[in-house]
Amino acid sequence: MTSALIFGMSGLDLTADERAFFREADPWGYIVFARNIADKAQLLRLTDRLREVSGRADVPILIDQEGGRVARLKEPVWRHPPPAAAFAGIYGRDVETAMEAAFLNSRLIAAELREVGINVSCSPCIDLLHEEGHGIIGDRALGSETNQIAELGRAVAEGLLDGAVLPVVKHIPGHGRARTDSHLELPEVATAHEELSRTDFVPFRSLSDMPMAMTAHVVYSALDPERCATLSSRVVHHVIRGEIGFDGLLMSDDVGMNALSGGFDERTHRALVAGCDVVLHCSGNMDEMQECLRGARKLDGEAARRAAAALDRIAPPSDFDAGKGAARLAHLMAGGTAIA
């Protein structure tokens, strides 16, 4: 039975050890990074190999392709998508143009991902931009106003879905107030629950119908002063599932980040016990992955239902002319207006 895990891999192709381990572990999905990417032909071979090893044609294969500084598919082989902040800037001048541009950019990303066998994009990032927040969010944010982020976030997500790619909204219930980078240390946010509910939670409530979401490795002292969201059953059940109303597949952020402590088996176990459906481990380090597997469990019950429901959201892509789409996007980004 499939394990409640998503794993990275070390290089441009699977090693013999990785093939054997992945067959044994049978993780729910995989994630690729720049270290795994050379060109289109190579990446398609790799994703084909992952499908072959898993024995599942629809195995989730994830990537971070937000645009801007978070883009694993790079020039000159691929188009470089603009950062989220570019659409936020347009929104301030012309809402409809911003919405069309965000959708088109996302639809182009979906076409680029499907061409190389990737069916999940870890976007949109719908964290609010706060002045006090760390730059790790920065221009990845779709703005600082809740309704704007919700509208642009939905345009991004719907563009991906239109191209048969699952979106992952992140970082639930909100990373924008964190003053430190959770890759490096554990952030703590002291904002009152009522204020969080009125602001940071709003985009996530608006997109609570999306198929997948990624947790934040952030302590919200008003919610749970001892555990970050990823490891907090109080945050997962009362806030994410309850107050926000998200019933899709909940995946952890990378358990290899320094915000978390303890062995990888402990990190994995604690995230799953807290209520995450699957645990993400990105580095491709074999020793760490083996530890994660020891702390994991099989994907069953409600987690399996949510996983199946997420994959059911992948429908055949709509008819789309990528050349015309790219030209239209360039026109909009240069100051053109939306189609009436």
* Residues 80 and 107 sit within 8 Å (Cβ to Cβ): no
Instruction: Tell me what pLDDT residue 256 has.
Output: 96
pLDDT digit string (tens) for 171-188? Answer: 999 988 987 767 777 889
238 catalytic residue (yes or no): no
DSSP letter at 179 equals S
Instruction: Tell me what pLDDT residue 51 has.
Output: 98
Query: Superfamily for 60-275+305-333?
Result: Glycoside hydrolase, family 3, N-terminal domain (3.20.20.300)
130 catalytic residue (yes or no): no
Average pLDDT, the chain: 95
Beta strands in the chain (DSSP E): 3-7, 27-32, 61-63, 65-67, 70-71, 120-121, 166-172, 188-189, 212-215, 219-220, 249-254, 278-281
pLDDT digit string (tens) for 101-144? Answer: 999 999 999 999 999 999 999 999 999 988 776 667 889 999 99
Query: Active site residue: 26, 224, 253, 277, which one?
Result: 253
For Cα atoms 213, 245, 249, give the angle at the middle one, nearest 5 degrees.
Answer: 30
Sign of CA dihedral 122, 123, 128, 131: positive
Instruction: Tell me what pLDDT residue 131 has.
Output: 72
Instruction: Tell me what pLDDT residue 296 has.
Output: 98
Instruction: Extract the tokens encoding 43.
Output: 């990446």
Amino acid at 30: Y
Domain ranges of the chain: 60-275+305-333
Query: Active site residue: 183, 209, 237, 312, which one?
Result: 183
Instruction: Extract the tokens encoding 198.
Output: 């009125």
225/195 Cα distance (integer angstroms) = 16
Instruction: Tell me what pLDDT residue 228 has.
Output: 96
